[in-house]
Amino acid sequence: MGSPLKQQRRGKGSPNYQSERDGQGEVEHRNAELRARVQDIQHDPSRSAPVALVEYEDGVQRHILAPENLAVGDEIELGAQAEIKEGNTLPLGEIPEGVPIHNIETQPNDGGKLVRSSGTYAFVVTQEEDGTRIRLPSKEFKKLSTKCRATVGKVAAGGRKDKPFVKAGNKSKAMKAKGLKYPKVSAVAMNAVDHPFGGSAKPGMPKTTSKDASPGSKVGNIGASQGGNSEE
């Protein structure tokens, strides 16, 4: 049948496709109304954004996504009565329109699922009777329950992509942390036995593939249902 497909090799879970899971753990909203103080800002190798170690007034220590302008010693608050301030977590129904937010719950008390990457933020568009409408970084509008919680502010490290990797080793470590294979070899640089585009005997080979081709041959673009200029 030929060599295994890339998706089959990924499913096997070989070392080339395994992500390093030695991060700081989950960052979720606590189901309580508490105050906390920031103890430290830490790097998390398993995510693109830094995390903040906070200690709540009941003595529990947890990690949260660090928003911009959050510093060690700052005090944050969870609950419907919290102030609209960076780092505070409130229900969407209590957040005014136009305020940037992140780590948004899709269901009440699920801990936060949306807008968690570095430099990203959403904002409240309007408060409606049956929910709160927000605008995501993808420009998609989504209506959520007013009881879903979110943290005020933008996720820190928005300039992460502006810093060049400089060395291939740095790029390799960044890709490895995401479970991506690096470096990638161009298909046309391979041998004919390794890829349909490989070999020097097939210069200028089209990238389109027939719909009737075997699964192992379906690389590039799937052929159009009708080619050329048809005359009616």
Q: In this predicted model, what pLDDT tens digit does every residue of 84-120 receive, in sequence order?
A: 999 999 999 999 999 999 999 999 999 999 999 999 9
Q: What span, in angstroms and rounded, lies between the C-alpha atoms of 23 and 53?
A: 13
Sign, CA dihedral 128-131-135-138, equals: negative
| The pLDDT of residue 161 | 83
| The pLDDT of residue 9 | 64
Q: Is the pLDDT of residue 141 over 60?
A: yes
Q: Calculate the average pLDDT of the chain.
A: 85
Q: Determine, yes or no, domain membership for 198.
A: yes
How many structural domains are present in the chain?
Answer: 1
Considering only residues 100 and 190, tell me which one the structure prediction assigns the higher pLDDT: 100
Inter-CA distances, 76 with 52, 94, 167, 180, Å = 11, 16, 38, 36
| The pLDDT of residue 211 | 76
Q: Is the pLDDT of residue 8 over 90?
A: no
Considering only residues 160 and 228, tell me which one the structure prediction assigns the higher pLDDT: 160
**What is the tens place of the pLDDT at every residue in 195-211?**
777 887 766 667 777 77
Q: Specify the amino acid at residue 218.
A: K
| The pLDDT of residue 195 | 79
Q: Whole-model pTM?
A: 0.71
| The pLDDT of residue 191 | 87
Q: Determine, yes or no, domain membership for 201.
A: yes
Q: Determine, yes or no, domain membership for 156.
A: no
Other CB atoms within a 10 A radius of the CB of residue 68 amount to 16
Q: Determine, yes or no, domain membership for 178.
A: yes
| The pLDDT of residue 232 | 47
Considering only residues 74 and 226, tell me which one the structure prediction assigns the higher pLDDT: 74
Q: Determine, yes or no, domain membership for 79.
A: no
**Per-position b or e across 80-91, b if 16+ CB within 10 A of its CB:** eebeeebbbbbb
Q: Which domain holds residue 166?
A: 161-222
Q: Determine, yes or no, domain membership for 210.
A: yes
Q: Determine, yes or no, domain membership for 94.
A: no
Q: Is the pLDDT of residue 217 over 90?
A: no
Q: Specify the amino acid at residue 17.
A: Y
Considering only residues 8 and 44, tell me which one the structure prediction assigns the higher pLDDT: 44
Q: Determine, yes or no, domain membership for 36.
A: no
